[in-house]
Amino acid sequence: MSDEPMGPDDVEVDEAERPARWFRVPRKRRRWPWVFMWAALLIVGAGAGLAVASYQLLGNTLEKASPDTKVVQDAQAAVDPDVPGEPVNILLIGSDKRAGEQGVGDPGRSDSLILLRMDGDRGFISMLSFPRDLYVDIPGAGMDKINSAFSRGGPAKTIETIKKLTGQPINYFVNIDFNGFVKLVDQVGGVYLDVDRKYFHKNVPGDGIDDYEEIDLKPGYQRLNGKDALDYVRYRHTDSDFARIARQQAFLSELKRQTNRFGNLPEIPAYASIFADNITTNVRSVPRLLGILEQAMTTDKDRISRNSISGNPNMRGGASVVDTTQAEIDAKVDAWLNPEFEQGAASAVVSPNEVQVEVLNGNGRLLDAEKATDQLRERGYDAVSGGNADSFGKPETVVAYAEGQREAAKNVAALFGADTVLAALPRTGTPDGLDVRVTVGESYDGELVQKKKAKKEPKPTADVVDTTSLVGLGKRIQKATGLNIMVPTRVPSGSELKVVRAYRVNTGGEGPQALKMVFRIPQGTYWGYQVLDWADPPLLEGRTGVVKSGGREYSTFYDGKNLMRLAWQKDGVTYWISNTLDYALSDATMYAIAKSVRPVNRPTLRPGAKPVDIPMEQDAYTP
């Protein structure tokens, strides 16, 4: 089968590549238990077990990756002690040059920053990503893009910047350059990933447009080598930092899961060489590294939380930046410290008279802090007014809590309305005995929220239209490839078919037959439909649940509360619906699409349906 995309009007198949109905799927390559990967979802790890014979090799490798240089010494001075029994925070830095590289001149730039939290007691891993253009205060340098911290002072300055921004300790750092990323992905045999759309950019000399990294990556489920994987996670020519963070985090999850295997001791030296030559870290203890990797590889996917700072695009001094507020940072840090799967239960009942609350004025309106203090006292809280906050004009009310007082803070926050931000108080500088600090913002209208009876939420409805536009196209592809094609007969409102690709999963014209359709919705993002003649693709190993409906068994893939993918199988063929990178499609819409999928030979519509034609293109540009 040709690797070129197919359009609605033409389906051609090279007779020499016409599919045999039987083929051997390449065996999954089993890898030795460790690989630290970078990315802007960097770290990779692979597995847990370590042969006694390789223990010394790992020690020598760590010694080379954490040399006694000024770069590492400065970074070590900037980190916080690793306290036994406490969660471990690791700053992952992806850069275009290894930190501490010999020579002088350009120190390089950080392309990806992720703060990783590994909480062994509560059994979760949490990631917090930062846009590279985030406009922040660089200690000793003033306001600038966050990625400039690495250029100014390497890992040490980056650590100082993230600590100041978040108020959180950092115990370790891992910096790996792009070359190391490519080699690591190639060494593990590539990674299977569902590429959401077509990514293409080619620099044209003399066109007056700043050059970007070139990329030519087709959509669909496929095995990416190191170079393609790097292009995928770094792409930002027509994308936002936020879409890139979503790709990086999705890639990291798949890489972690697909390399979570034992075996192949002969390949240990190859991993060790890549690790030592391309990574700089302050992790020097072999047992500590193995403990980190064991948790990384054994934590269930549904216990991994992914968060990112969003902010708003802006221009400063002719340069594009991302602005954010302290309230957003506080809220995202709180979600990172207490992931959604930790927040599912309702607030615990805490006696108000046992909660000491300080109220500050953050909106500048006269006596608002005193007014809120009196209202909290009326509710039974031990509340005092603390005067003015450090500045006025704060849009949201912030309820910050001391260690161990999160449940109490949730009850207080509920009194100030849905827009209230929950955050953690800094560990240092918080007065003894203070449980909760409220900073009233402009969202405070002078009254606390009255407790109302909970209303039953209406059942969400799907935003879809009926269509038979895909039937003819599906018939032609089925005839040309022999692949059992089913197509959706309901799609999200406003959908446009932008790319149709019939191909074989792996390069060289080998591997299972596949079909990928990419649809654009009015919000400007893309959802996908995949058909794959492969009964056990690695992707299915990551499912988070199973739902039986209408005679089908759907595998669900959730990222926190967001439904990323719905998959099912029939006669050895795997089908799935993929959400957009920003999860624009609701669960109800995703299920409506999946349940509408019918064989092209009998595309029945629901009673009373009024089918609409959807625009279709063959190989459209998908910015």
- 507 in any annotated domain: yes
Residue 10 C-beta-side C-alpha neighbours within 13 Å:
8
pLDDT band of 46, cuts 50, 70, 90 = very low
Decide if pLDDT at 574 tops 70: yes
The per-residue pLDDT for range 264-277, each reduced to its tens digit, is: 444 556 666 777 77
CB atoms within 10 A of CB 52: 6
The per-residue pLDDT for range 431-460, each reduced to its tens digit, is: 888 999 999 998 898 889 876 555 666 677
* Weakest mean pLDDT among 37-41, 92-96, 111-115, 203-207: 37-41
* Weakest mean pLDDT among 23-37, 71-85, 205-219, 344-358: 23-37
Residue 27 carries which DSSP code?
Answer: P
Decide if pLDDT at 37 tops 90: no
Residues 6+ positions from 168 with CB-CB distance below 8 Å: 89, 115, 162, 333, 337
More confident residue, 8 or 525: 525
User: Highest-confidence range of 159-163, 366-370, 410-414, by mean pLDDT?
Assistant: 159-163
* Weakest mean pLDDT among 42-46, 69-73, 319-323: 42-46
Residue 232 carries which DSSP code?
Answer: H
The pair of structure tokens assigned to 136 is: 């922040």
Decide if pLDDT at 284 tops 60: yes
| Residue 365 and residue 285 share a domain | no
Distance CA(139)–CA(137), nearest Å, equals: 6
- 370 in any annotated domain: yes
HEC assignment per residue over 326-366 = HHHHHHHHHHHHCCHHHCCCCCCCCCHHHCEEEEEECCCCC
Distance CA(469)–CA(488), nearest Å, equals: 9
Angle between helix 70-78 and 148-166 (nearest 10)? 20
pLDDT score for 370: 93
pLDDT band of 74, cuts 50, 70, 90 = very high
- 2 in any annotated domain: no
pLDDT score for 268: 57
pLDDT band of 427, cuts 50, 70, 90 = low
- 195 in any annotated domain: no
Angle between helix 226-234 and 241-258 (nearest 10)? 150
Decide if pLDDT at 66 tops 90: no
Look up tokens 């199988």; give the residue: 569
Residue 523 carries which DSSP code?
Answer: T
* 385 bridge partner residues: 359
Average pLDDT score over residue span 123-143 = 90
Q: How many domains does the chain have?
A: 3
Distance CA(420)–CA(439), nearest Å, equals: 10
Closest CA to 243 of 132, 97, 96: 132
- 219 in any annotated domain: no
Whole-model pTM above 0.85?
no
Distance CA(303)–CA(297), nearest Å, equals: 12
| Residue 74 and residue 149 share a domain | yes
pLDDT score for 303: 74
Average pLDDT score over residue span 158-179 = 91
Amino acid letter for position 606: R
| Residue 359 and residue 327 share a domain | no
| Residue 282 and residue 134 share a domain | yes
- Judged on CB neighbours under 10 Å (0-12, 13-18, 19+), 204 is exposed
* 130 bridge partner residues: 113
| Residue 425 and residue 561 share a domain | no
| Residue 436 and residue 508 share a domain | no
Q: Which of 279, 312, 341 is the last residue of a domain?
A: 341
Cβ–Cβ < 8 Å for 572, 537: no
pLDDT band of 240, cuts 50, 70, 90 = low
pLDDT score for 455: 61
pLDDT score for 490: 96
Provide the domain limits for residue 331.
52-187+235-341
For the chain, give the percent of residues with pLDDT over 70: 77
pLDDT band of 345, cuts 50, 70, 90 = very low
| Residue 315 and residue 280 share a domain | yes
pLDDT score for 55: 63
- 553 in any annotated domain: yes
* 261 bridge partner residues: none
Residue 437 carries which DSSP code?
Answer: E
Residues 6+ positions from 66 with CB-CB distance below 8 Å: 72, 280, 281, 282, 283, 284
Question: Any idea what the CATH number is for the domain that residue 528 is in?
Answer: 3.30.200.100
- 545 in any annotated domain: yes
* Weakest mean pLDDT among 9-18, 133-142, 506-515: 9-18
| Mean pLDDT, rounded, of the chain | 80
| Residue 546 and residue 427 share a domain | no
pLDDT score for 208: 54
CB atoms within 10 A of CB 353: 11
pLDDT score for 469: 95
pLDDT score for 211: 61
pLDDT score for 349: 57
Average pLDDT score over residue span 58-77 = 83
| Residue 405 and residue 277 share a domain | no
- 369 in any annotated domain: yes
Question: Any idea what the CATH number is for the domain that residue 108 is in?
Answer: 3.40.630.190
More confident residue, 261 or 550: 550
Question: Any idea what the CATH number is for the domain that residue 358 is in?
Answer: 3.30.70.2390
Q: Which of 411, 440, 469 is the last residue of a domain?
A: 440
pLDDT band of 36, cuts 50, 70, 90 = very low
Decide if pLDDT at 381 tops 80: yes
| Residue 139 and residue 56 share a domain | yes
* Weakest mean pLDDT among 292-296, 316-320, 341-345: 341-345
* 195 bridge partner residues: 220
The pair of structure tokens assigned to 310 is: 């969003």
pLDDT score for 3: 41
* Weakest mean pLDDT among 15-29, 326-340, 597-611: 15-29
pLDDT band of 571, cuts 50, 70, 90 = very high
Decide if pLDDT at 222 tops 70: yes
| Residue 171 and residue 146 share a domain | yes
| Residue 91 and residue 67 share a domain | yes
Closest CA to 58 of 259, 297, 286, 291: 286
Q: Please give the order of strands across the beta sheet that includes 421-424.
A: 382-388, 356-361, 436-440, 398-401, 421-424
